[in-house]
A and B are shown apart, each in its own frame.
Chain A
Amino acid sequence: MNAVEFIIAGMLAAATPFLLAALGELVAERAGVLNLGVEGLMALGAVIAFIIVYQGGGHLLGFLAAGLASAALSLVFAVIALGFRANQVAVGLAIGILGQGLSALFGKSYESLTVKGLPKLSLPGLSDIPVIGGLFAQDVVVWLSLAATVAIWAMFAYTKTGLVVRAVGENPKAARALGYPVIAVRFAAVAFGGALAGFAGAYASVVYTPLWADGMIAGRGWIAIALVVFGTWLASRIFLGACLFGAVSLASLAAQATGLDVSSQLLSSLPYLVTVIVLGIISSNRRLLKLNGVASLGEPFER
């Protein structure tokens, strides 16, 4: 396996925590809610999944519980930010910090323990192709995340549910006038986003790096939020962005392992640099931003 094969084979798995969390944030933002608590929601999901898997509950139960726990915490956010119409930025930050605190508390006696990850499922035939074969041998969560990306893309592109969510985010007053329950839709979107953030955290702690360590999310929730903007609120671009970020992260490590004479500090900042540059290019196109941006993002809705 050389460096290129290493990047190709690892890219999707590296992207999965970002992808899942960003897709969840996408749905919430499409409904007009800016939830900055993703980092904490991921941390909570990570610790809950880890505890369940460590106690022998299995990965499926671990993921479900992680999704439920993070959805529940995101509903706390929804009650304060949507119910009481508090500032979404402030509440999101507070919930994020709360989630990290809770994860540290629950995980205290599990610090630096390990569990078994999940086996890789290969697509027969495809995974034997030289160089790019590794791309087709991934664990089940990666495959499901890809399916979720397609499903969320299709939901916004083709279904009435998708249109209702978008309408609530674009012009809640108009959506209300048409008889749609704006607050209920936003609650559902936030809970969905929370569940996906929980899955993302679970993936990090029981599949990708199957161990628990306080602080192991290490800023990935923030990258996920950035990816939503970077992807101009489109599932397809978020997917590309997550893969780009994952691939560049792996490439920066592989470059060092091969002895390439580039400063490691530069390489470590490369994923962020690349993301910022692409973000800059995209947000320079006003028309595109206006086309996909969410008009009422972050604004409280009063009937």
Chain B
Amino acid sequence: MLTNLTRRTLMKGAAASGLVAAAGGRALAADEPLGIVLVVPSPVGDVGWGRALADGLEPVKAAYGDKVKVTIIENIQEGPDADRIMNKVVADGNKFLIAGSFGYQNGALQIARRNPDVTVLHASGFQVAPNFSPFAAQYFQGTYLMGMAAAALSKTGKLGSVSAFAIPELITSINAFTLGAQAVKPDVEVSVVWVNSWFDPAKEQEAAKALLAQKCDVIFSNAQDTPSVVSACEEAGVPAFNLNSSMKKYAPETYLGCVATDWSPFFKASVDAHLAGKFKGANAFLGVGDKVVEVVDWNPGIPAETMNRIKEVEAKIAGGSFSPFAGPVAKADGSEGVPAGKTMTDAEIVAMDWHVKGVTTPLPK
């Protein structure tokens, strides 16, 4: 069953734990700090996915000081190595584990089942257990806005995306990007290159150049942790945007913006709940309205008229009155994806395995 952990319930949890702490009802494990471990698949650089997660823990550190001990373990390949490392940190007495990649799911879930006193947060999965919450960002809300800007700046009407793996999270980002672009220019087309790797800067850059060679003139760097795509686009004088954390310093001239994620409200609330003994595993699918997804560093060259429209749509998304996946939405093969009058549910969005009309690259099967 999917339950949405919304911002409101998060805040409730935070308030409740605050009250409990204030009432002295439950003392923090005073002598032993809470061991929080974050495991990520790539190196934590200045930018990217790992950096966004690490930054999300800063407010937790600031709030709890020496009552928490945060450890970040980076560059851990998905698979047996990750399972071994996660088991070890839990065996070492850490009680709060953040498994920062989809592929950690099975190992992390086993740990959660075997250790009921350990709280596990797992990035971009779908399994839920009483002490195991999957979390994901509604990137698609931000990429829809980026699509609007991209269409306004594109001269060729062709946009491109360098993407890691064809999983629903990335597919929805591309789809919303396409729909946002079509909202501004209906006949815009989007080409996608799947590099089938989370981390290969050289291949990512080659993919970006392959898209530029096809006359794509705005590029979406979909789930790249290094500025490989963004800096190649700057060199070519083409606007590009990415997810998670801003790469403006790598592309001062052409940077389109960043669909940034701020995990701190979610991490803070989860740690609060854990310390209060009230943690409840739930599917946390967080977006613009939760202040987890936010578009930052907009390119000043975006026409003011477009920017006004973008801001209007952004406010509607935050307020919940607009979804990029509100029908009618046609699939790439022309069939009906979402009927008019219907909107895709969260459960449907996290399982999306088709491209919308306008994405010219067939989806890998």
Contact of B195 among A1, A112, A213, A268 (CB under 8 A): A268
Tell me the bound Cα distance from A227 to B192 in angstroms: 30
- Nearest-neighbour CB distance to chain B for A21, whole angstroms, equals 13
Q: Are A264 and B364 in contact (CB under 8 A)?
A: yes
Tell me the bound Cα distance from A264 to B213 in angstroms: 18
Assess whether B280 is interfacial by the CB under 8 Å rule: no
Q: Are A112 and B226 in contact (CB under 8 A)?
A: yes
Chain B residues touching A, range: 35 or more
Tell me the bound Cα distance from A104 to B199 in angstroms: 15
- Nearest-neighbour CB distance to chain A for B262, whole angstroms, equals 19
Closest to A1 in B: B213
Assess whether B196 is interfacial by the CB under 8 Å rule: yes
Q: Are B48 and A112 in contact (CB under 8 A)?
A: yes
Closest to A13 in B: B206
Q: Are A104 and B43 in contact (CB under 8 A)?
A: yes
Contact of B202 among A6, A104, A204 (CB under 8 A): A204
Contact with A along B221-246 (1 / 0, CB 8 A): 00001111001000100000000000
Given known contacts A211-B227, A218-B203, A114 and B210 CB-to-CB distance under 8 angstroms:
no
Tell me the bound Cα distance from A214 to B77 in angstroms: 13
Tell me the bound Cα distance from A214 to B194 in angstroms: 21
Assess whether B75 is interfacial by the CB under 8 Å rule: yes
Q: Are A6 and B209 in contact (CB under 8 A)?
A: yes
Q: Are B362 and A215 in contact (CB under 8 A)?
A: no
Q: Are B364 and A257 in contact (CB under 8 A)?
A: no
Q: Are A256 and B45 in contact (CB under 8 A)?
A: no
Assess whether A216 is interfacial by the CB under 8 Å rule: yes
Contact of B210 among A112, A215, A256, A268 (CB under 8 A): A256
Assess whether A180 is interfacial by the CB under 8 Å rule: no
CB neighbours of B213 from chain A (8 A)? 1-3, 5-6, 254, 257
Of B214, B216, B227, the most chain A CB neighbours within 10 A belong to B214
Q: Are B43 and A214 in contact (CB under 8 A)?
A: yes
- Nearest-neighbour CB distance to chain A for B273, whole angstroms, equals 32
Tell me the bound Cα distance from A264 to B164 in angstroms: 11
CB neighbours of A210 from chain B (8 A)? 231
Tell me the bound Cα distance from A17 to B205 in angstroms: 15
Contact of A111 among B45, B214, B360 (CB under 8 A): B45
Q: Are B210 and A254 in contact (CB under 8 A)?
A: yes
Contact with A along B14-43 (1 / 0, CB 8 A): 000000000000000000000000000011
Contact of B250 among A114, A213, A265 (CB under 8 A): A114
Closest to B194 in A: A264
Of B43, B75, B250, the most chain A CB neighbours within 10 A belong to B43
* B window 28-71: CB within 8 A of A: 42-48
Given known contacts A111-B46, A114-B227, A257 and B216 CB-to-CB distance under 8 angstroms:
yes
Tell me the bound Cα distance from A112 to B50 in angstroms: 12
CB neighbours of B114 from chain A (8 A)? none
CB neighbours of B44 from chain A (8 A)? 111
Assess whether B166 is interfacial by the CB under 8 Å rule: yes
Assess whether A10 is interfacial by the CB under 8 Å rule: yes
Assess whether B160 is interfacial by the CB under 8 Å rule: yes
Of A2, A204, A253, the most chain B CB neighbours within 10 A belong to A253
- Nearest-neighbour CB distance to chain B for A38, whole angstroms, equals 16
Assess whether A284 is interfacial by the CB under 8 Å rule: no
- Nearest-neighbour CB distance to chain B for A237, whole angstroms, equals 23
CB neighbours of A114 from chain B (8 A)? 227, 231, 250
Assess whether A258 is interfacial by the CB under 8 Å rule: yes
Of A204, A213, A254, A268, the most chain B CB neighbours within 10 A belong to A213
Q: Are B193 and A112 in contact (CB under 8 A)?
A: no
- Nearest-neighbour CB distance to chain B for A124, whole angstroms, equals 23
Closest to A115 in B: B231
Q: Are B227 and A112 in contact (CB under 8 A)?
A: yes
Given known contacts A209-B201, A215-B75, A265-B196, A3 and B214 CB-to-CB distance under 8 angstroms:
yes
Q: Are A213 and B214 in contact (CB under 8 A)?
A: no
Tell me the bound Cα distance from A90 to B196 in angstroms: 30
* A window 230-249: CB within 8 A of B: 249
Assess whether B200 is interfacial by the CB under 8 Å rule: yes
Q: Are B206 and A257 in contact (CB under 8 A)?
A: no
Tell me the bound Cα distance from A213 to B191 in angstroms: 26
Tell me the bound Cα distance from A216 to B202 in angstroms: 7
Given known contacts A114-B231, A211-B226, A215-B75, A259 and B201 CB-to-CB distance under 8 angstroms:
no
Assess whether A208 is interfacial by the CB under 8 Å rule: yes
Closest to A117 in B: B235
CB neighbours of A117 from chain B (8 A)? 235
Contact with B along A166-184 (1 / 0, CB 8 A): 0000000000000000000
Assess whether B106 is interfacial by the CB under 8 Å rule: no
Closest to B234 in A: A114
Q: Are B206 and A211 in contact (CB under 8 A)?
A: no
Q: Are A263 and B364 in contact (CB under 8 A)?
A: yes
Closest to B166 in A: A264
Assess whether B288 is interfacial by the CB under 8 Å rule: no
- Nearest-neighbour CB distance to chain A for B151, whole angstroms, equals 19
CB neighbours of A214 from chain B (8 A)? 43, 75
CB neighbours of A302 from chain B (8 A)? none
21 residue pairs A–B, Cβ–Cβ below 8 Å: A1-B212, A3-B213, A14-B206, A111-B43, A111-B45, A112-B225, A209-B201, A209-B202, A209-B205, A213-B45, A214-B43, A215-B43, A218-B197, A220-B202, A249-B203, A253-B210, A254-B213, A257-B361, A259-B362, A264-B166, A268-B197
Known: A14-B206, A209-B205. 13 other contacts (CB 8 A): A1-B212, A5-B213, A6-B209, A17-B202, A104-B43, A104-B75, A111-B43, A112-B43, A112-B227, A218-B202, A254-B213, A256-B192, A259-B360
Q: Which 6 A-B pairs have the closest CB atoms?
A: A112-B45, A6-B213, A111-B45, A264-B194, A259-B360, A268-B196
